[in-house]
Amino acid sequence: MTADVFTSSWFYWAVGIAIGLPIGLVLLTEWQHALRRKQSALARPVTVMRNYLLPLGALLLLLTEARQVPAEATSVRTVATLFAFVVLVLLLSGVNATLFQGAPAGTWRKRVPTIFVDVGRFVLIAVGLALIFSYIWGANVRGLFTALGITSIVIGLTLQNSVGQIISGLLMLFEQPFQLGDWLDTAAARGRVVEVNWRAVHLETSTGLQITPNSVLAGASFTNLSRPGDTHKITVTTIFSLADPPNQVCALLTRVAAELPQLRPGGTVSSTPVGGLEYRTTIPLTSPADDGPAKTTFLQWIWYASRRAGLHLDEAADDFTTPERIAAAVAEVVAPTLRLNAEQQQELIPSATLDRYGADEVIQRAGEVPDRMTFILAGRVALTTGTGDEPRLTIGTLEEGGFLGQSTLTRQPVIGYAHALSEVTVVHVDREHIELVVQRNPLLLQEFGRAIEDRRASARRVLSTRTEG
């Protein structure tokens, strides 16, 4: 009896399955973990192989070889159907992972729309299932294919317009004139592409989500504002008085636009008079998303800058600076710092000016040698490090009564930037008058020297902290 067991073929099949199945599961598990660590697209096909194909294959061999169940039995046919279906899914998943998911950017495989892949997968699954039922169950599928073919022709003729629109949209997606994140300017809307599917393109606009059918885009012209890169720009038109010198106006507009935080790195700003009272400023930007913020900031800054320069934006005259306001500002913030009496304050008024700066506007630039001292009358000013293209770090904040530009006496360049945190009103005093005041009171020079060293020390501490971090 024992000899019959060892000489039977089913015994070796049973032992082989009992040993081979665990070993195969262990090997496929290790392979699966390795692919997941590499974030490989093949991880999913290997998972299908481990969880479904290998157990079903072992069960099929156990039924047909170890148990000697006839192939015509319902249990064998059921397991064989499941096994063949998993093989079909595995092949499709493997082809998709190697051919499309791992395709290099810019190749035709990467440009194939997902809907094409899904339709192809559906057709192959349908054909595969038909073959499976034909060979395993002996089903006659020829009539089914004939009926499906006739039905497809009838449906195609009935819906030829709708299907044509869908196909035209899919062909446009295959060409890929845009991708997620691009900005489109269409006849219906202007916005950023946030979703693309087989039916429509979703644009995020300032008024909400604009859904445009693919067939509409395929049948009309539109502009991709994001391609080619580094070409996007906006044009802002402004009006100045006829008495303002055009060269001064253009220089002002160019300087203000060049300091915008939204300016594209390496971009060149240009301003030109276009006739009448109009001036056109071209500002290169990184993305159309910056259009609104850049234009708003530019118009805000030139309102303040034009008044500081004595120019007349929108032909408006500025009556903010008056002798009475300058005298009050000198008495409030300049006299306490410079220790001036009433007579000295009157002497200083002719050399003082009153200016305003908009929020985030630069008041002092790193590396420049100031030609005057600046006293803060209202608002808050942030002092930051001047480190080129690197992010600026805050050294400190000045409020009402604070001052800038004390290095005008030592003729040293300033080490950082100063920009307004809100609207800031300041009093400027020329260097010549500051020198006269210091000559009368030498102790002021020592105090200014200590202020310079304190700010330099603060800047060094901030930079050293970033270096250590």
Q: What is the pLDDT along the chain (469 residues), one digit of tens a residue?
A: 444 555 566 667 777 878 888 888 888 888 888 888 888 878 888 888 888 888 888 888 877 776 777 777 888 888 888 888 888 888 888 777 776 666 666 565 665 666 666 667 777 877 888 887 777 777 766 665 665 666 666 555 554 555 555 666 666 666 678 877 888 888 888 898 888 776 788 898 878 888 888 777 877 788 888 887 778 899 999 999 999 999 999 999 999 999 999 999 888 999 999 988 999 999 999 888 888 899 999 999 999 999 999 999 999 988 888 989 999 999 999 998 888 888 888 988 998 999 999 999 999 988 889 999 999 999 999 988 865 555 677 888 999 989 898 888 888 888 888 999 999 999 999 989 888 888 888 777 777 777 777 777 777 777 666 555 5
467 contacts 404 by C-beta, under 8 angstroms = no
CA distances from 305 to 88, 168, 211, 320, 379 (A): 71, 53, 42, 13, 17
455 contacts 415 by C-beta, under 8 angstroms = yes
> Of 226, 308, 236, 305, whose CA–CA distance to 270 is shortest?
236
- List CB contacts of 198: < 8 A, sequence separation 6 or more: 113, 114, 115, 166, 169, 170, 173, 214
| Sheet order of strands, 424-430 included | 352-357, 424-430, 372-378, 403-404
Report pLDDT for 317.
Answer: 87
Q: Which residue shows structure tokens 């035209």?
A: 168
Residue 404 host element (H or E): strand 403-404
Residues listed for the chain: 469
Report pLDDT for 251.
Answer: 96
CA distances from 91 to 85, 124, 250, 344 (A): 10, 10, 66, 93
What is the β-pairing status of strands 362-364 and 394-398? unpaired
CA distances from 249 to 133, 275, 416 (A): 82, 13, 28
Three-state DSSP state, 229 = coil
Task: Decide: residue 367, CB within 10 A, 0-12 exposed, 13-18 middle, 19+ buried.
Answer: exposed
Helix then strand then coil, % of the chain, to nearest 5: 55, 20, 25
Q: For residue 59, give the amino acid letter.
A: L
Report pLDDT for 109.
Answer: 61
Return left, alpha or beta for 176; rule: phi > 0 is left, psi -120 to 50 is alpha, else beta: left
The terminus-to-terminus CA distance of the chain in angstroms comes to 79
Task: Decide: residue 387, CB within 10 A, 0-12 exposed, 13-18 middle, 19+ buried.
Answer: middle
Give the pair of three-digit tokens for residue 55: 């157990």
- pTM score: 0.64
| Whole-number Å distance between alpha carbons of 204 and 210 | 6
> Of 281, 278, 271, whose CA–CA distance to 250 is shortest?
271
Report pLDDT for 298.
Answer: 96
| Whole-number Å distance between alpha carbons of 289 and 273 | 27
Residue 235 host element (H or E): strand 233-239
| Whole-number Å distance between alpha carbons of 47 and 124 | 21
Give the pair of three-digit tokens for residue 142: 């020829």
Q: Which residue shows structure tokens 């604009």?
A: 210
57 contacts 86 by C-beta, under 8 angstroms = no
Give the pair of three-digit tokens for residue 80: 């064989």
Helix axes 431-440, 443-468, angle to 10 degrees: 120
